[in-house]
Structure 1
Amino acid sequence: MLAQDKNRGKIALISVHGDPAVEIGKEEAGGQNVYVRQVGEALARTGWQVDMFTRRTSPEQKAIVEHCPGCRTIRLTAGAETFVGRNELFKHLPEFVEAFFRFQAESNTIYPIIHTNYWLSSWVGMEIRKRQLVKLIHTYHSLGAVKYKAETTIPLIAKTRLKIEKNCLETVDRVVATSPQEQDHMRSFVSQKGNIDVIPCGTDIERFGNIDRAIARETLNLQPNAKIVLYAGRFDPRKGIETLVRAVGRSEVRTHENIQLIIAGGSRPGQPDGEERARIESIVEELELTDCTTFTGRLDHDQLAQYYAAADVCVVPSHYEPFGLVAIEAMASGTPVVASEVGGLKYTVVPEETGLLAPPKDEVAFAASINRIISNPTRRDRLGHGARDRVESHFSWDGVAMQLDELYLSLLKQLHQEFFFGKRKAKVATKKRAISTSQKVS
């Protein structure tokens, strides 16, 4: 735990579409929401006053949510107070910018440090910087230039997104990449210009990793001898759930006695979860996996910790993942991970040490990797211990906050120097004009 021994000042984290206060697992709620919330709370423990700005999506939502001393979520109205998908949000961003300035004026507050998250928020941050002196930091969370390579249908907003992502990298004060792989992608696919720091995402190593497997299974009413394969996350075609389901449906996995596939995330049981959940359920039925598959619906963090602990393996089959919080949450729980060999997953998951990697969309490779782990308890436990060790040494939220704290303080120092240098230049200019006027008069 970090000690709040100094008042660092105020900082704004902007996450337009990823509400830090929303329940994880709802539509448009995933790793980015966790990142912003956990970073905000950890920064508050270092002494920052952290305000996290997001868009209000319902009149019933509180305008301000207090999370802990020094950290709160502030919901601004931009467009109708209803859910709007990411690809439709851009037209509402100017209103979000104006709402941000109104909040500053009404609360008599100026944020010298602004950290934006996702490309939509980067546009907001760059517009704010046009009107006030500020140091601007950005975390992409995903890159359109990489994401669109994995998609067959490219949204109409793609051209705008790619242009803004390039402008962001080349002009903001600092970009935070969450893995060396993401940094490479920025340089290869976005721009050679701009300043990049690599600071990983983190996880709560106290919440995840303190539950015994047998106790977790008893709590969740799961069989002690079951072979449990877990997916955790939202329903989205890019998350590759179909690959996992088809892998479990292959004979090398399916023939294991007491095989159990648990798909955790999305809505509460009994609530609709959109087209992707319906599609995945139809594939489960097609492969005759209904009897061994459980859809848990949305889980809170304590429930999710139980499922991570209970699982033999956690599978992250994403087509693209700049970091992958689920991977390190599972690893923190001592559960090995089978993940797609893409993006930040190549950084978080170390093959043969913390889990295994497989080519994305390759159900045969995923089946082989899953089978290697669930068929050998000794290997499973060895990889699980290695996974926990890696998270402890690399991916705690307080460790992430300490690295961001250093970055913010260095940029704040630059800002002060620029401000006072600007004031000196203004004084000199005023003095020169006065002398010039005096000479003309004489």
Structure 2
Amino acid sequence: MRETWVRSRPLIRSNLRQNPEPIKPMDITSKQHIALISVHGDPAVEIGKEEAGGQNVYVRQVGEALANQGWHVDMFTRCSSAEQPKIVEHSPRCRTIRLTAGPEEFVPRDEIFGYANTFVEELVKFQQQSGIKYSLVHTNYWISAWVGMELKKRQAVKQVHTYHSLGAVKYKSVTTIPMIATTRLNFEKAVLETAERIVATSPQETEHMRSLVSTKGNIDIIPCGTDIHRFGALSKEAARAALGIDSDAKMVFYVGRFDERKGIETLVRAVGQSKLRGHEKIKLVIGGGSRPGQSDGIERERIEKIVAELGMSDFTIFPGRIGDDILPAYYTAADVCVVPSHYEPFGLVAIEAMACGTPVVASDVGGLQFTVVPEQTGLLAPAKDEVAFATAIDRILSNPEWRNQLGQGARKRVEEKFSWDGVAHQLSELYTKLLEKPAKALEQVSA
């Protein structure tokens, strides 16, 4: 296997440089090696690109925080471009390893499972060549769950799994069920029943697992986190000055993938019928990456047409992918951040905004019911209900004093519940407890 090793700056996924030195096996004399597996969610990719969102952030931040606590962390993902470096080093004990499984190009997640067996073979080969044996794997999303279960058939390894999205919930909110659905549902049930531990990110996600997937299996609730130092360091005035946003504008902000399930249309139509429109200087900012011709680019074009049809083009901005360095300024500059998803198992955008002291209006679904506390850190509205979203947004925009109180409550909640260091500490304790017990072999699971 020809490998390229690069080093990345903390928290910035660009500015990578190649290291001409050959790859050397990591020192394995201290804490044990663990593998975070995220087949389709590359931890080292620029966030905002197609199918790069909350899962990528979660894996990257958890990996770096665990490394800071002494673990040797290898984060495995699929190489999606021949130009990508095979290895990205984030810190002395944390790196992303890109395995070649299928074509070295972007592949939609529903098509990636066809290359999962190759991914397993390459992961095993990497262990053999590097001399590393992982004592525990933390898998993310159902495709990675299958990879973890396959590894357990070949070697003594513990498996922890985080779903990030449940097929049983997702397929209730879409009109077209993909062909891979049955396979996904079977393996989501299998991993719940066979993994040493499932990590749910909210009580609501746990309830969905028990009611829709299986009553068997062991579940711990450990939420997602955010960088409470990076988010919340700016003043609103400084943030608006940096972005060129007028001080008297009422800024409504969305950031995320362009995907119909993210509910961006609901947000646009809600702002379009705001009672403040025409009386206040509203500024709608819809941030996120898009690739022309790909699914997210097509969705962005659809949203832009709706904006034009509603006569909102003069106060709506599409800044495209927002880099990590400037993202905190957008959150801080906003009067309200809107998360109108049809479903979210957790919702990282919500806590990033809250960390910046910005109240959130979110769909009353999934983990958003856990992260957003109504009347304390923001407001919840029924998913897809543009009238309810318009009312909630107007309530916050029309009362600056209350808006500031919600923002203070939001920041306090994030500080107390959702720091990455705290999340990693809980995971570290879980891993340590699991590794004290012998691993059990996993029998064949069929789709």
Both proteins in one fold, TM over 0.5: yes
**d(CA) in 1 for partners of 2:160, 2:279:** 49
Residue equivalent to 1:427: none
Any idea what SS the aligned residue of 2:365 has?
coil
The structure whose residues are more often helix, as a share, is: 1
The amino acid of 2:187's aligned partner reads: I
Within the candidate set 381, 389, 401, 2:404 is matched to 381
Residue equivalent to 1:148: 171
Structure 1's 225 and 298: CA in aligned 2 closer, same or farther, altered over 3 A?
Answer: same
Q: Is the 8 A contact 1:268 1:297 kept in 2?
A: no
Residue 228 (str. 1) matches residue 245 (str. 2): no
How far residue 175 of structure 1 moved from its aligned partner, in angstroms, is 0.3
Within the candidate set 185, 190, 201, 1:162 is matched to 185
**d(CA) in 2 for partners of 1:85, 1:146:** 20
Structure 1's 157 and 284: CA in aligned 2 closer, same or farther, altered over 3 A?
Answer: same
Residue equivalent to 1:331: 354
Q: Is the 8 A contact 1:144 1:161 kept in 2?
A: yes
**d(CA) in 1 for partners of 2:297, 2:110:** 17
Residue 19 (str. 1) matches residue 79 (str. 2): no
**d(CA) in 2 for partners of 1:69, 1:285:** 49
How far residue 407 of structure 1 moved from its aligned partner, in angstroms, is 0.3
How far residue 300 of structure 1 moved from its aligned partner, in angstroms, is 1.3
Within the candidate set 290, 312, 316, 2:335 is matched to 312
How far residue 194 of structure 1 moved from its aligned partner, in angstroms, is 0.3
Residue 261 (str. 1) matches residue 284 (str. 2): yes
The amino acid of 1:238's aligned partner reads: R
Within the candidate set 110, 120, 136, 1:97 is matched to 120
Q: Is the 8 A contact 1:78 1:92 kept in 2?
A: yes
How far residue 299 of structure 1 moved from its aligned partner, in angstroms, is 1.1
Residue 8 (str. 1) matches residue 31 (str. 2): yes
Any idea what SS the aligned residue of 1:254 has?
coil
Residue 390 (str. 1) matches residue 413 (str. 2): yes
Structure 2 unaligned residues grouped into runs of 5+ = 1-28, 442-447
**d(CA) in 1 for partners of 2:262, 2:414:** 22
Superposed, which structure 2 residues align to 1:85-234 within 5 Å? 85-234=108-257
How far residue 178 of structure 1 moved from its aligned partner, in angstroms, is 0.3
CA distances 1:28-85 after superposition (whole Å, capped 9, x unpaired): 1000000000000000000000000000000100000001121000000000101100
The amino acid of 2:438's aligned partner reads: L
Residue 57 (str. 1) matches residue 71 (str. 2): no
Residue equivalent to 1:44: 67
RMSD: 1.6
How far residue 91 of structure 1 moved from its aligned partner, in angstroms, is 0.6
How far residue 273 of structure 1 moved from its aligned partner, in angstroms, is 5.0
How far residue 255 of structure 1 moved from its aligned partner, in angstroms, is 3.0
Residue equivalent to 2:9: none
**d(CA) in 1 for partners of 2:296, 2:240:** 26
How far residue 251 of structure 1 moved from its aligned partner, in angstroms, is 3.8
**d(CA) in 1 for partners of 2:114, 2:45:** 23
CA distances 1:281-324 after superposition (whole Å, capped 9, x unpaired): 11101101000000011011121100000000000000000000
Residue equivalent to 1:344: 367
Structure 1's 412 and 281: CA in aligned 2 closer, same or farther, altered over 3 A?
Answer: same
Q: Is the 8 A contact 2:204 2:370 kept in 1?
A: yes
How far residue 257 of structure 1 moved from its aligned partner, in angstroms, is 1.5
**d(CA) in 1 for partners of 2:61, 2:276:** 36
Structure 1's 372 and 193: CA in aligned 2 closer, same or farther, altered over 3 A?
Answer: same
How far residue 272 of structure 1 moved from its aligned partner, in angstroms, is 10
Q: Which moved more, 1:176-185 or 1:271-280?
A: 271-280
How far residue 253 of structure 1 moved from its aligned partner, in angstroms, is 4.1
**d(CA) in 1 for partners of 2:426, 2:274:** 46
**d(CA) in 1 for partners of 2:117, 2:386:** 43
How far residue 8 of structure 1 moved from its aligned partner, in angstroms, is 2.0
Superposed, which structure 2 residues align to 1:228-247 within 5 Å? 228-247=251-270
Within the candidate set 339, 346, 355, 2:378 is matched to 355
**d(CA) in 2 for partners of 1:147, 1:226:** 36
Q: Is the 8 A contact 2:290 2:300 kept in 1?
A: no
How far residue 333 of structure 1 moved from its aligned partner, in angstroms, is 0.2
Structure 1's 405 and 368: CA in aligned 2 closer, same or farther, altered over 3 A?
Answer: same
Structure 1 unaligned residues grouped into runs of 5+ = 1-5, 420-442
How far residue 210 of structure 1 moved from its aligned partner, in angstroms, is 1.0
Structure 1's 256 and 39: CA in aligned 2 closer, same or farther, altered over 3 A?
Answer: farther
How far residue 7 of structure 1 moved from its aligned partner, in angstroms, is 3.2
Q: Is the 8 A contact 1:208 1:333 kept in 2?
A: yes
Residue equivalent to 2:275: 252
How far residue 256 of structure 1 moved from its aligned partner, in angstroms, is 3.9
**d(CA) in 2 for partners of 1:167, 1:256:** 55
Q: Structure 2-normalised TM-score?
A: 0.90
Structure 1's 302 and 256: CA in aligned 2 closer, same or farther, altered over 3 A?
Answer: farther
**d(CA) in 2 for partners of 1:30, 1:256:** 35
Within the candidate set 353, 367, 372, 2:390 is matched to 367
CA distances 1:198-249 after superposition (whole Å, capped 9, x unpaired): 0000000000011100111011001000000000111011100000000000
